[in-house]
Structure 1
């Protein structure tokens, strides 16, 4: 017994004010020691004393607030999200229909009848029914949230909405039964309109969230469901991976994913470990070497002894790192919510003071207390205080900026990305697949006593039957250079070292310099070039014909064509670029020098990447992280803004706030510029909306503002925000792109956990 952690995926959060309400509720719950809330990923991590609080009570706090706890199973969670979306749509259709009817009735009264006051008792009853139906039908869940928040002393947007909605309801009832001069229909109409607006706002937020990728399960899908377990007598049986124990032995054939973490006890092969390191060049594995579950066995058959299972396995550790980083990611209070933090209690206080003023102040000049005017003033303040345009300012900026970004192949998944990007001062970039292309390619051919074509022809002929990725790079380069080569007469692959072949009666060796030396080849004339190429982070393959060193081929991961220019754009914007990689220091330094990055972190494991991001944040920096691999996912989640290369793994995409749908690095700074512009629009929208609300509330305190004018002000403020958000875009002919769909790929395009950008 002692401290326990519980992590929940929560439905019903629509803005960072919801996240703050959850934090406040738990902070006032006896036994809760700490709580972290991630709005972007809708997750809550609660740390509590299980001797003072039970798990059921922890969950009940969320449920009491009106939020739902989704199923831990990711497939079922996705179904629940879709069900929430369907419920939201039904609420919106009902409330929207009621609003249309009320608007038509009001239009008939004002335009046809030319009057503001009620026309008949029948119309009063109809609008009352619509108000009650909207508030206690589709809007019932809002009341539950408002009640539970008030019960805990939390003043949030739900409280303000219900204050305005009930003010309209009370005002209409007063006009119906107490003060005939009260505009009954218009007060009831207010209740309908602001409830509908809030439902629309939450539905828009829900759409943005549920259209994001549901690909966390893609991480665990890399690990096979079954494995070939080898018994002591040599028998082989296929068993579920979950049934494996430490010490069991499994056989892995070429082309298969390695099912578990383990140690090679028999065989030799090349293994693609990009799942862990992100590096494109595979590692040579033989007896005694460790292998990682989820990596790909490429060339030979391996017998692997299991060293870790369950929660101790590498992929499960990464999944846990991601989930913890999500829940503990520093919370961002949206600019609109910071305004609401003071605006909500301010409006409630002003309403109460307005009523007291018109009841008490007349006594000062010898008049009778004006209860009717006080009530009208208080109700009008609550009605005008509900910030329709204020609440729309951020979503509209998100839609506008998101559409513009989508036109450039950038998916802005989170409103946080717009708010935080202007404050980012460090951008941390993964190397392989981010700064570089992510595939081995020939960078240089050096010839000794022959021309480069001869070296390349000889090497390509010798490697023609090889399945090694470095051989593929040589053959691809030969094809690009239109070099003709023939199949070898004899071929032998020496695992982890190179190949031996007979080409046109010549004995040819292509492989590592160390292996060539062991074969008695004199490398003295190439020693300087070998050192130079390796100093640039290249893998060197020597080409030997009939015992003579013919040349060298340097193979590496090419830097993207726009990488250097993008790094310069970062510097021009006052942002410090940092490179972080699991590759060795020599290779990392070579790439960093080519693109002019001064700060380099090499030989870094996935959990260490996250720690490095955390250290930068602890120093007071705002940090963006750019990556494409599973090994980058925890760091992408930890960063203030995670940016995934869309040609990378699904789990990296799922962990990010921004996704570049191609592999162009320049999209990072495009997103930065769009984020800056969108946040500027948000501030302008908020200033416009707050001006309408501020002036309206001040005017309402006089008790002379008719509800219809309150609604007109609401329409004008929303129209002004809309115009500011989209007028320039529409005039420029850009159009408004409101599509936020992430996953337009077919299943066949990601069978290996990666996607291909068009």
Structure 2
């Protein structure tokens, strides 16, 4: 709301704050934003209260500041369709109206999907206000969908609507064209005039063109008039004006020929009809291609099983899948789709999860194994207990994620839409100037030439291609990625990933398997190996750290009893301690034991040797005395080396971020070819290390497991979460790899680079087309060649331009599977040799965590 002083007060939630220093940091960051007069952040309510000057800054700037601080501002989101848009200028106009509303954080309108996505502050604006803003721009808002997992079989597609209008137009346009052209054929024209005079044939042309002009072309008038009424002309306006000019000129020439100068009372009924028909053909082909760009989402929606066989009242009953509830047991026979997310309670089988994960090899399922709705049971019968239904299922989340990525507008498209927003008014001016110039300087009779060139200019201009250049490619790329198991959560991530210069990998669970195992346990005199292992395992059983889990697993493998521990305390990044059998046991790094006053020099040389072998050394103290040195190793993943090699081949620098000590980290880096190592980084300092790299480098991607690395994933230009379809990693990062396979990073990079190359080609075609053909339509070639561009050819060329852009985008559907080698040529830049000699960096402190 706005105060009397002209300041706007904004109240919103902030997620991710855990302590007073968090709220203080957010408050400090908000206070630095230009135009913010006051900022107050409450940790208890998790909300921020900000007063700002709307003339200097907006809500989006405030939200951006909070995000850069590493936290998540909370806004409501609504998505809805918009009817009547025909070009990028239309999308830009609707978007501008929405963004101008108080309380709107950001609004994005996508011409390819014909949808708007609006983030707004709850309680500050009503949905009706959003719809009203769209209507004021000259378009019709459509009620938002409520179910993303169902297809709408009842409503006809755009392609079906255009096809119906096109076929109707063709029925009248073909005889219209025959009549008009036949009169120009020697002999045939004379024969026709023997049957009817010229005005009689012109009257027949009028009767044939009327249904085409005012029924088949009715939507051009409907939306074109609305655009003009709101002083915001678009492509519909150009078509309406161009075809109406040809029709009205012809009608006047037929009805009152005497008012025209000599030899200018000509009719262009055939041109008016052909214009409508050819543009309908272009729109139909465009709609078909648009349908193919969203085919991946439709295929995912089609995976939703319509029915399920559920145990009810002691027998199996087939019911609608939407009626299944959590806790039900579902029976799935061989060859059937699994209707829900759940866990196997009985049976053994193999399940094809390729459409979800991109993994072509069927996955074995037995008791307690998790299943994903939409996957196909292959061999055996399974009984599955339902865990998630409806919009909570993995399939529904994937569909929402892909649709969200397709709706978001990359920076390159925002620029194109701003250009398209002024393009149509400029074309109207160019057409008027063309008409005036031919009337003033053209050879007599000048009116027909001036008329033909002005109409050709109106019809040849094609901001549609500019508006479709990016969203069409983004739609196909994100759909292709979904089929490969690479999910782009944001459309902007495609553009950003294509331009990254550095990829930073988390070590534990990303470059390594994440399941460490005990490799050494060496004791000092007086301590028994098995006794020490039992004490250590009893302490670590209280810890959730993977290194501790390795020690517990080793004790159980030795059939040792895990004793109860109390007074357990953990020191993040350093170590743990507890009391076991009345003995105080402390396990951690050398720095941790040194802080306790316990000397570790007896094992110093051996610890360094183990660290150089990529093993993590830990020291054990019992009752204040050094008892043992243990070493834990986390095996490097099989796909790590070839992934790093492929990224190096693409000209990228590779860095590794870990809490492990310097020696262990460098040993891993040397084995797989990492360029830069950031070791000894405390868990809460990973995001700061990413920011430090960003300050000194170009765009940066961070690859982590999506669970423990959320701050770093958020801070990076592109966060890539490596997980699986049933992990909470699906909610983290800008790019989610559905399989725990590092080669997916290579596939995602390759796909992003191909998409950006296609987008650049699309823009080259769209802008080049207009730069070259608008002057041709205006008649610049006439003095040298005597050739003028017919309005009919101009209309056909306009439709062809859109189809070319869409066809080029559809090439992204082919090739470039996950794990494919990324060639240096995929990048539009020259890639020099990778710098392998940069000095390694270190964070603050010492840690046993990664």
Partners of 2:117 and 2:789 in 1: CA distance? 43
Q: Which residue of 1 aligns with 2:384?
A: none
Partners of 1:688 and 1:331 in 2: CA distance? 19
Query: Which string of whole-angstrom CA distances, capped at 9 and with x for unpartnered residues, describes residues 551-575 of structure 1?
Result: 6443465554444554555455444
Q: How far is 1:719 from its partner?
A: 6.1
1:382 to 458, 465, 469: 458
Partners of 1:517 and 1:79 in 2: CA distance? 60
Q: Which residue of 2 aligns with 1:168?
A: 243
TM-score by length of 2: 0.52
Q: How far is 1:663 from its partner?
A: 2.2
Q: How far is 1:384 from its partner?
A: 1.8
1:125 to 207, 210, 218: 210
CA separation of 1:375/1:624 partners in 2, compared to 1, >3 Å: closer, same or farther? farther
- Decide whether the 8 Å contact of 1:538 with 1:554 is kept in 2: yes
Stretches of structure 1 that go unaligned for 5 or more consecutive residues are: 72-76, 214-325, 735-758
Q: Which residue of 1 aligns with 2:307?
A: none
Q: Which residue of 1 aligns with 2:438?
A: 358
CA separation of 1:465/1:358 partners in 2, compared to 1, >3 Å: closer, same or farther? closer
CA separation of 1:692/1:539 partners in 2, compared to 1, >3 Å: closer, same or farther? same
Query: Which string of whole-angstrom CA distances, capped at 9 and with x for unpartnered residues, describes residues 656-703 of structure 1?
Result: 443322122332233223322332233334434545444443332249
Q: Which residue of 2 aligns with 1:423?
A: 499
CA separation of 1:339/1:24 partners in 2, compared to 1, >3 Å: closer, same or farther? closer
- Decide whether the 8 Å contact of 1:432 with 1:557 is kept in 2: yes
Partners of 2:140 and 2:663 in 1: CA distance? 49
Query: Which string of whole-angstrom CA distances, capped at 9 and with x for unpartnered residues, describes residues 490-539 of structure 1?
Result: 8434445689999xxxx9999726999999x9987546546776897847
Partners of 2:667 and 2:183 in 1: CA distance? 72
Q: How far is 1:728 from its partner?
A: 10
Q: Which residue of 2 aligns with 1:99?
A: 166
Partners of 1:205 and 1:733 in 2: CA distance? 17
- Decide whether the 8 Å contact of 2:500 with 2:698 is kept in 1: yes
| Bigger Cα displacement from structure 2, 666-675 vs 85-94 | 85-94
Aligned to 1:683, the other structure's residue is in SS state helix
- Decide whether the 8 Å contact of 1:628 with 1:649 is kept in 2: no
Q: Which residue of 2 aligns with 1:188?
A: 276
Partners of 1:174 and 1:612 in 2: CA distance? 70
Q: Which residue of 1 aligns with 2:703?
A: 626
Aligned to 1:377, the other structure's residue is in SS state helix
Aligned to 2:564, the other structure's residue is in SS state strand
2:220 to 109, 127, 135: 135
Aligned to 2:676, the other structure's residue is in SS state coil
Partners of 1:400 and 1:413 in 2: CA distance? 14
Partners of 1:351 and 1:560 in 2: CA distance? 64
Partners of 2:103 and 2:537 in 1: CA distance? 65
Q: How far is 1:124 from its partner?
A: 2.0
- For residues 444-523 of structure 1, what are the structure 2 equivalents within 5 Å? 444-447=519-522, 469=544, 472-474=549-551, 485-486=558-559, 488=561, 491-494=563-566, 495-496=568-569, 512=587
- Decide whether the 8 Å contact of 2:490 with 2:734 is kept in 1: yes
Q: Which residue of 2 aligns with 1:322?
A: none
Q: Which residue of 2 aligns with 1:305?
A: none
Aligned to 2:703, the other structure's residue is in SS state strand
Partners of 2:693 and 2:90 in 1: CA distance? 28
Query: Which string of whole-angstrom CA distances, capped at 9 and with x for unpartnered residues, describes residues 199-254 of structure 1?
Result: 678777888899999xxxxxxxxxxxxxxxxxxxxxxxxxxxxxxxxxxxxxxxxx
Aligned to 1:512, the other structure's residue is in SS state strand
Q: Which residue of 2 aligns with 1:284?
A: none
- Decide whether the 8 Å contact of 1:98 with 1:192 is kept in 2: yes
Aligned to 2:517, the other structure's residue is in SS state strand
Partners of 1:614 and 1:70 in 2: CA distance? 42
TM-score by length of 1: 0.58
- For residues 171-570 of structure 1, what are the structure 2 equivalents within 5 Å? 171-176=246-251, 178=253, 180-183=267-270, 184-190=272-278, 192-193=280-281, 331-333=411-413, 337=417, 340=420, 343-362=423-442, 367-370=444-447, 372-387=448-463, 389-395=465-471, 397-398=473-474, 401-402=477-478, 405=481, 408-412=484-488, 415-437=491-513, 439-442=514-517, 444-447=519-522, 469=544, 472-474=549-551, 485-486=558-559, 488=561, 491-494=563-566, 495-496=568-569, 512=587, 526=603, 529=606, 538=616, 540=618, 542=620, 552-555=629-632, 559-563=636-640, 566-567=643-644, 569-570=646-647
CA separation of 1:463/1:12 partners in 2, compared to 1, >3 Å: closer, same or farther? same
Partners of 1:712 and 1:332 in 2: CA distance? 28
Aligned to 2:413, the other structure's residue is in SS state coil
Partners of 1:387 and 1:724 in 2: CA distance? 17
- Decide whether the 8 Å contact of 1:409 with 1:661 is kept in 2: yes
Q: Which residue of 1 aligns with 2:9?
A: 4
Q: How far is 1:705 from its partner?
A: 3.2
Stretches of structure 2 that go unaligned for 5 or more consecutive residues are: 11-58, 60-74, 185-201, 254-265, 302-405, 570-575, 780-786, 818-850
Matched, 1:597 2:681: no
Q: How far is 1:625 from its partner?
A: 3.9
RCO comparison, higher one (Cα < 8 Å, 6+): 1
Matched, 1:65 2:132: no
Q: How far is 1:441 from its partner?
A: 1.4
CA separation of 1:723/1:387 partners in 2, compared to 1, >3 Å: closer, same or farther? same
Aligned length: 579
Partners of 1:55 and 1:612 in 2: CA distance? 41
Partners of 1:729 and 1:204 in 2: CA distance? 10
Aligned to 2:750, the other structure's residue is in SS state helix
Partners of 1:24 and 1:661 in 2: CA distance? 36
- Decide whether the 8 Å contact of 2:92 with 2:421 is kept in 1: no
- Decide whether the 8 Å contact of 1:16 with 1:332 is kept in 2: no
Partners of 2:468 and 2:791 in 1: CA distance? 21
Q: Which residue of 1 aligns with 2:760?
A: 683
CA separation of 1:492/1:618 partners in 2, compared to 1, >3 Å: closer, same or farther? closer
Q: How far is 1:351 from its partner?
A: 1.8
Partners of 2:718 and 2:183 in 1: CA distance? 51
CA separation of 1:435/1:62 partners in 2, compared to 1, >3 Å: closer, same or farther? farther
Q: How far is 1:650 from its partner?
A: 6.9
Report the aligned-residue RMSD.
Answer: 6.0
Q: How far is 1:98 from its partner?
A: 1.6
Partners of 2:142 and 2:617 in 1: CA distance? 49
Partners of 1:93 and 1:616 in 2: CA distance? 52
- Decide whether the 8 Å contact of 1:564 with 1:596 is kept in 2: no
Matched, 1:670 2:747: yes
CA separation of 1:729/1:417 partners in 2, compared to 1, >3 Å: closer, same or farther? same
Aligned to 1:79, the other structure's residue is in SS state coil
Q: How far is 1:353 from its partner?
A: 1.8
Aligned to 2:459, the other structure's residue is in SS state helix
